[in-house]
Structure 1
Amino acid sequence: MMPYLWVKAVHVACVLLFIGGLFSQSFAVAAGQRGDAGAVALASHWDRRVTVPAMLFVWLTGAAIAAEGGWFGSPWLWGKLVLVLALTGLHGVQSGRLRRLRRGDPLQTRMRAVHIAAFIASSAACIAILVVVKPF
């Protein structure tokens, strides 16, 4: 029982770091589009050192928890996984944008930081509800 609790605690801690990293990416991209190279460099460094490892640990520990709980057949878990996959994809898109900004390339995007932040926040809230309530 004790190792399960540790894995769950690491999962929750890494989720917090991953979600925080997604927020910082979206605001750094917005700052970079306004010419703030310092914000882009800082966010890129944080992303490589903290957000990416946290994201990997979210996936690893989440899979271990789901296997331990026998939840792979549960519809709520698949709903959560769709949202986590979308957040992971968003991370990849944002990482690419930061890379292009570091090179000095202009971004061709219609997505605004506020919309991205709203997506991150609403996805995290839905994930929390799915995990705690397990509605289906």
Structure 2
Amino acid sequence: MSVPDGYGLLKGAHVAAAMTFVGGLLATAVLLPASRRLPLAARPVSHLALRWSRRVTAPAMLLVWTFGLVLALEGRWFSDLWLQMKLAFVVLLSALHGVQSGALRRWAGGQQPAPMAATAGAAPLILACVTVVAFLAVTKLT
């Protein structure tokens, strides 16, 4: 199956992976600030969150990047401003995932998960970035 024949499948896989990735980011964005108020008995929650991040969210992020780069190569969109702007927001979301992963590892290790400044406003930031990314991808404004 060539990419033009499979464009819809590839785009669908990209969107499904993006939804999974964003869902993991949002769940972690809600859980990390709450972790400061949870008792030590809630430590198993940190291990579950870390396992989810490693087994679901991180692979979904890799799939988003893989499918997205293939779509961009096939569409020859790398010179388009909309894609460059979209990539900036996707890099920001990927970096946030790195910050969240580090916080989850610290929390699972029995330490404070992260400074509040690094995690408190993550959910609105994620939603804003995803909104811009979706708008740019759908409209392909130049």
> Unpaired runs of 5+ in structure 2?
none
Instruction: Tell me, yes or no, if structure 1 residue 115 matches structure 2 residue 118.
Output: no
Render the CA deviation track for 1:23-52: whole Å, top value 9, x for unaligned: 111122123222332332221111111111
User: Map of 1:71-86 to 2, 5 A cutoff?
Assistant: 71-86=77-92
**Post-superposition offset of 1:108:** 5.0
**Post-superposition offset of 1:65:** 0.2
Give the conservation status (yes or no) of the 8 Å contact 1:26–1:113: yes
Instruction: Tell me, yes or no, if structure 1 residue 32 matches structure 2 residue 38.
Output: no
Residue range with higher mean Cα deviation, 82-91 or 106-115:
106-115
Give the conservation status (yes or no) of the 8 Å contact 1:31–1:40: no
Provide the rounded CA distance (Å) in 2 between the counterparts of 1:90 and 1:84: 10
Provide the rounded CA distance (Å) in 2 between the counterparts of 1:108 and 1:2: 46
RMSD, aligned CA: 1.5
Render the CA deviation track for 1:78-106: whole Å, top value 9, x for unaligned: 10000000000000000000000111112
- Count matched residues: 136
> Unpaired runs of 5+ in structure 1?
none
Instruction: Tell me, yes or no, if structure 1 residue 9 matches structure 2 residue 20.
Output: no
1:43–1:107 CA distance, 2 compared to 1 (3 A)? closer
TM norm structure 1: 0.92
Residue range with higher mean Cα deviation, 8-17 or 107-116:
107-116
**Post-superposition offset of 1:107:** 4.1
Provide the rounded CA distance (Å) in 2 between the counterparts of 1:58 and 1:134: 18
TM norm structure 2: 0.89
